[in-house]
Amino acid sequence: MPKIFINNNEIEFKEGMTVLQACELAGVEIPRFCYHERLSIAGNCRMCLVEMEKSAKPIASCAMPAAEGMKIKTNTKMVEKARKGVMEFLLVNHPLDCPVCDQGGECDLQDQSLYYGFDGSRFKENKRLVKDKYMGPLIKTQMTRCIHCTRCIRFATEVAGVSELGAIGRGEDMEITTYLEKSMTSELSGNVIDLCPVGALTSKPYAFEARPWELKKTESIDVMDAVGSNIRVDSYGWEVKRILPRLNNQINEEWISDKTRYACDGLLKQRLDKVYIRKNNQLVESSWDDAINLISLKIKSTSSEKIAGHVGGLSSFETINSFKKFLEEINVKNYEFREKDFYVNSDQKMNYIFNSSIQGIEKADFILLVGANPRHEATILNARIRKTYLKNKLPIFSIGDPGDLTYPYKIVGNKTEDIKKILEGKSEINDLLKKSKNPLIIIGESALELKSGKYIFEGLKEFLYKNKFINEDWNSFNILSQNAATVGALDLNFFNKPNGSGSFFDKINNHNFDLLYLVGSDELNFQKNNEFIIYQGSHGDRMAQIADVILPSPAYTEQNGFFINLEGRLQKAFKATNPIGNAKEDWKIFNLIVDKIKNKNLFTNYKTLIEDSLSKIRENKNIDTLPEPQIKKIHLTSGNFYSEQVLIRPIDYYFSNPVARASKTMSDCRIEKIRNSENRKTG
Amino acid sequence: MSIKKIHDNQPDKFEFTKANLELADKILKKYPSDQKKSAVMPLLYLAQNQNENWIPLAAMKYIGKFLSMPYINVYEIATFYSMYNLAPVGKYFIQVCTTSPCALRGANKLVDICKEKISKNQNELSQNKLCSWTEVECLGACINAPMMQVNEDYYEDLDETNTKKILNSFLEDKPLKPGSYRNRKNSAPEKNQILTNGHKNA
């Protein structure tokens, strides 16, 4: 490896590194504004100037490639003077409004001016004033503060894949704006707030809410989709003030989607904080004792075939486990986690996870989407596909039309026949697929919802296995789950396997059940008839309205919980705030009911719950690891083929779960999105 | 500098004329087919020529679509370069050079005359809407300073009387001819002066 001298210390670096990266290897911190490791290099802030031997001028270390034998100095008078000069120029037009700026306390400019700033200003002229730009309901702008690092522009163009931000004018008149001040049409737009090194782009919903040092920070896991992005929950008292991303290169790098970031105000609204019982068609405030009594009486008086349980997509692994244990305790066999009837095969863990792993996407050289819209179903995963596209320029195909995915792809067809052609080796893409080393086949839930769901699933699996695309090193068979609870529920087999008496969904639509126990489940498409509905959850949403008993339980930031993300990675979410009102944790509620009916405890304490839950996770018991590949014992079956249209079920992205529906920010985003699409139609 | 603010009254539509479309295709051929957006600057200029010397938003959108590039990138370029006008200018668009050599030779007097004759501020139309003026940086004719550019012609070696005459001619829509106003041939020395190397004026 080549060597470089940094402050007279010799250090080895990798070919292709910049001087700044080499300095970091040597443990020397270089101040910077425009440089960001995940964005292209701009070299326009000049803060990273260092001295290089034989160069008369200081060099911008972020843009200078490191070379063998270079002698860099970062602690000389010249460097200090250069940095002070740059800082003085940056501050020439930067307003002195830190006391009223939301970035205060976490501002790069503030921090660095502490080391390189002068104590007074030599600038006697007028400061420049820039009109604030409208950038949608999420981003608050104060463009006078902008130092033109262009990180936001580079993020929008490169990572988010929407070229909507730009710099107009030049020199002192340069301004950052979206085209004609429209909002950004990206699900990743909130990340520009984290990227902005000053207070020019700040969070609109979080404006003037709190200072960063007064917040309690809890490292946790996101549940808005199945990706399991790593987040930090910042709370003040019982309120969750904001959600920020946490670095995890294996999952979300350092981005999170707008829904993850901004649905948190939904945790303050529409909350169920008291027990309610329906009397004379009205929900009346009640007590836990009354409710538990009523429920146990109802359960005792209803035959167990007439009872069904459904769990929602935001539930933790322990909740589903304790719910299943509770239902088994009262002999109930009708339980389900799916919201729509789609084909699942839970014989092996491989059958319901994203086997290639999110980081593995970067190795891919061929992608086929089957009835999937990763942009809306798993936004962060889509960003990874785009990153791979930019790096490898790989061919991407889709069956079904997912709309704009931020990277170019080709639609092979819209019918199940097109899948059949691939399986029979007659499709136009077969040659390319054969030649590829690491293909990715991503099957979405929309494809599995079809009548041919089984055919598509089993057929593709068999095809890939026989073509050796499922092997020890690479498993190209991927299922794109939509909900945080899906993989966990499948680990627990929390669904009704098809048998003679019709599926769960037929039964529920034919009103075969007399008692429905819903745990955080609001997406079921069903009309109430005479069922007695128990709703246990955190938000007063669709199902709470028709429920007969409402039991309040904590939301995802209010209790510890395990979540298994779509690649089968086990992660733990931590409690950030206390549950509100009279809410009780889910497993404690089940304990209470079982205690009433059978006079015994499901779980004696939290520890036994955790032990029991962890023992039920398949093929992986360690936090933050991927399951071991199980290639040897693959079972192959087949399904019936039907000629069908592959329609990708559109997702109401900003309204996809009860927390998001309660959030004002999400509803603003949704309105903005609708308005934007109408504008586009009219020209 | 020219106005970099979007004008309030924008036409709804913009399309290249048939002749310009042919020109645009010719321009496109200069660049590789996967680098179409390299043609954005000549196309913007073409649009400006077609639309009375200014570029409306519709034209930027049209060019964005024409070259399949994001609108914001066309917008960035149009606002970056001072020779693209984003708001209507007069039929006679007068650009007075005020960079050092011209300034030393009295360009500021020219500016005063423009203020007096055409409009108080830059980038405003004259009362009869025929002329507008602006200050610009060096136009590369320092040897003929002070000078001004009107549309595509240079008026050089000016003084106060000449400038007044020229401006009057534009205001009356009867433009005087461009070139040196001290009877120089291009930028050659005056009155057949001998050049330092002994040759006579060419």
Tell me what ipTM this predicted complex has.
0.85
Cross-strand bridge partners of residue A248: A253
Whether B200 has a pLDDT exceeding 70, the answer reads no
The predicted model gives A301-310 an average pLDDT of: 92
Whether B16 has a pLDDT exceeding 70, the answer reads yes
In this complex, is the C-beta atom of A172 within 8 Å of any C-beta atom belonging to chain B? Answer: no
Contacting residues for A649 by C-beta, under 8 A, at least 6 apart = A340, A445, A446, A449
Rounded Cα gap, residues A297 and A596, in angstroms: 9
User: B147, B179 in Cβ contact below 8 A?
Assistant: no
Cβ pairs bridging A and B (under 8 Å): 29
> Cα dist. A678→A53, A123, A139, A404 in Å?
59, 48, 21, 16
Give the per-residue pLDDT at A57.
Answer: 93
A116's tokens = 């390189």
Query: b/e string for A397-423 if b means 16 or more Cβ within 10 A?
Result: bbbbebeebbbebeebbbbbebbbbbb
Residues found in chain B: 202
The predicted model gives A308-318 an average pLDDT of: 93
Helix and strand numbers (H, E) in chain A are 21, 26
Contacts 24+ apart (CB under 8 A), A81-84: A82/A49, A82/A58, A83/A31, A83/A47, A83/A49, A83/A116, A84/A116, A84/A117, A84/A118
Q: In what order do the strands lie in the sheet with B92-97?
A: B131-136, B92-97, B148-150, B153-156, B179-180
In this complex, is the C-beta atom of B71 within 8 Å of any C-beta atom belonging to chain A? Answer: yes
Q: How confident is the model at residue A235 (pLDDT cuts 50, 70, 90)?
A: very high
Query: Does the distance separating the beta carbons of B57 and A180 come in below 8 Å?
Result: yes
Give the per-residue pLDDT at B195.
Answer: 62
Give the per-residue pLDDT at A58.
Answer: 94
Rounded Cα gap, residues A610 and A334, in angstroms: 24
B72, closest residue in chain A (CA to CA): A179
DSSP letters of B18-74? HHHHHHHHHHHTTS-GGGGGGGHHHHHHHHHHHTTT---HHHHHHHHHHTT--HHHH
> What tens digit of pLDDT does each residue of A620-645 get?
888 888 888 777 777 888 888 999 99
How distant is the Cα of A425 from the closest Cα of chain B, in angstroms?
A: 32
Q: Please give the span between the terminal C-alpha atoms of chain A, in angstroms, as a whole number.
A: 56
> What tens digit of pLDDT does each residue of A559-570 get?
999 999 999 999
Mean residue pLDDT across chain A: 91
Q: How confident is the model at residue B55 (pLDDT cuts 50, 70, 90)?
A: very high
Whether B201 has a pLDDT exceeding 60, the answer reads no
Closest CA relative to residue A458, chosen from A354, A350, A379, A547: A350
Give the per-residue pLDDT at A121.
Answer: 85
Coil, strand or helix at A3: strand
User: A568, A349 in Cβ contact below 8 A?
Assistant: yes
Contacts 24+ apart (CB under 8 A), A591-600: A592/A288, A592/A292, A593/A292, A593/A295, A593/A296, A593/A299, A593/A326, A594/A326, A594/A329, A594/A330, A596/A292, A596/A293, A596/A295, A596/A296, A597/A296, A597/A299, A597/A300, A597/A330, A598/A329
Quote the radius of gyration of chain A (alpha carbons, Å): 28
Whether A107 has a pLDDT exceeding 70, the answer reads yes
Closest CA relative to residue B58, chosen from B3, B18, B4, B7: B7
Whether A376 has a pLDDT exceeding 70, the answer reads yes
In this complex, is the C-beta atom of B58 within 8 Å of any C-beta atom belonging to chain A? Answer: no
A170: chain B residues, CB-CB within 8 Å: 79-80
In this complex, is the C-beta atom of B80 within 8 Å of any C-beta atom belonging to chain A? Answer: yes
Cross-strand bridge partners of residue A570: A564, A623
The shortest CB-CB distance from A163 to any of B4, B57, B70 is to B70
> Cα dist. A326→A487, A596, A618 in Å?
20, 12, 20
B77, closest residue in chain A (CA to CA): A168
In this complex, is the C-beta atom of B11 within 8 Å of any C-beta atom belonging to chain A? Answer: no
A180: chain B residues, CB-CB within 8 Å: 6, 57
> What tens digit of pLDDT does each residue of B73-128 get?
999 999 999 889 898 888 899 999 999 999 999 999 999 999 999 999 888 888 88
User: B39, B27 in Cβ contact below 8 A?
Assistant: yes
Whether B202 has a pLDDT exceeding 60, the answer reads no
DSSP A184: P
Residue with tokens 């791979």: A388
Q: How confident is the model at residue A682 (pLDDT cuts 50, 70, 90)?
A: low
How distant is the Cα of A415 from the closest Cα of chain B, in angstroms?
A: 30
Query: Does the distance separating the beta carbons of B57 and A167 come in below 8 Å?
Result: no
Q: Which amino acid is at A501?
A: S
> What tens digit of pLDDT does each residue of A550-607 get?
999 999 999 999 999 999 999 999 999 999 999 999 999 999 999 999 988 889 899 9
> What tens digit of pLDDT does each residue of A336-361 get?
999 888 999 888 888 999 999 999 99
> Cα dist. B175→A231, A426, B145, B151, B154 in Å?
69, 73, 20, 11, 12
> What tens digit of pLDDT does each residue of A413-471 get?
999 999 999 999 888 899 999 999 999 999 999 999 999 999 999 999 999 998 889 88
Give the per-residue pLDDT at B193.
Answer: 65
How distant is the Cα of A132 from the closest Cα of chain B, in angstroms?
A: 14
CB atoms within 10 A of CB A274: 17
Whether A500 has a pLDDT exceeding 70, the answer reads no
Residue A303, judged by CB atoms within 10 A of its CB (0-12, 13-18, 19+), counts as exposed
CA B43 to chain centre: 16
Secondary element (H or E) of residue A440: strand A439-444
User: A565, A260 in Cβ contact below 8 A?
Assistant: no
User: A584, A552 in Cβ contact below 8 A?
Assistant: yes
Q: Which amino acid is at A41?
A: I
CA B79 to chain centre: 15
Q: How confident is the model at residue A277 (pLDDT cuts 50, 70, 90)?
A: very high
In this complex, is the C-beta atom of A166 within 8 Å of any C-beta atom belonging to chain B? Answer: yes
What is the percentage of chain A residues whose pLDDT exceeds 90?
75
Give the per-residue pLDDT at B194.
Answer: 61
Query: b/e string for A198-228 if b means 16 or more Cβ within 10 A?
Result: bbbbbbbbbeeebebeebeebebbbbbbbbb
User: A250, A359 in Cβ contact below 8 A?
Assistant: yes
Question: Which residue, among B65, B76, B77, B83, would best test binding to A if mutated, counting the most A CBs under 10 Å from its CB?
Answer: B76
How distant is the Cα of A167 from the closest Cα of chain B, in angstroms?
A: 6
How distant is the Cα of A181 from the closest Cα of chain B, in angstroms?
A: 10
Residue B194, judged by CB atoms within 10 A of its CB (0-12, 13-18, 19+), counts as exposed
In this complex, is the C-beta atom of A173 within 8 Å of any C-beta atom belonging to chain B? Answer: yes
In this complex, is the C-beta atom of B164 within 8 Å of any C-beta atom belonging to chain A? Answer: no
Query: b/e string for A111-139 if b means 16 or more Cβ within 10 A?
Result: ebbeebbeeeeeeeeeeeebeebebbbbb
Give the per-residue pLDDT at B197.
Answer: 66
In this complex, is the C-beta atom of A179 within 8 Å of any C-beta atom belonging to chain B? Answer: yes
A161, closest residue in chain B (CA to CA): B70
CB atoms within 10 A of CB A304: 14
Give the per-residue pLDDT at A78.
Answer: 93
User: A590, A534 in Cβ contact below 8 A?
Assistant: no
Contacting residues for A170 by C-beta, under 8 A, at least 6 apart = B79, B80
User: A466, A476 in Cβ contact below 8 A?
Assistant: no
In this complex, is the C-beta atom of A168 within 8 Å of any C-beta atom belonging to chain B? Answer: yes
Quote the radius of gyration of chain B (alpha carbons, Å): 20
Give the per-residue pLDDT at B196.
Answer: 63
A544's tokens = 């709470």
Helices (H), A409-556: 416-423, 430-435, 445-448, 453-466, 486-491, 504-509, 542-546
CB atoms within 10 A of CB B183: 9
Helices (H), A93-187: 108-116, 151-154
How distant is the Cα of A169 from the closest Cα of chain B, in angstroms?
A: 5
B71: chain A residues, CB-CB within 8 Å: 179
A179: chain B residues, CB-CB within 8 Å: 70-72, 75
Mean residue pLDDT across chain B: 89
The shortest CB-CB distance from A168 to any of B57, B70, B76 is to B76
How distant is the Cα of A20 from the closest Cα of chain B, in angstroms?
A: 30
Query: Does the distance separating the beta carbons of B71 and A179 come in below 8 Å?
Result: yes
Whether A683 has a pLDDT exceeding 60, the answer reads no
Q: How confident is the model at residue B2 (pLDDT cuts 50, 70, 90)?
A: low
Give the per-residue pLDDT at A487.
Answer: 94
Cross-strand bridge partners of residue A49: A60
In this complex, is the C-beta atom of A170 within 8 Å of any C-beta atom belonging to chain B? Answer: yes
The shortest CB-CB distance from B75 to any of A168, A170, A173 is to A168
Whether A200 has a pLDDT exceeding 90, the answer reads yes
Pairing of strands B92-97, B148-150: antiparallel
Peptide bond into B178 cis (omega under 30): no
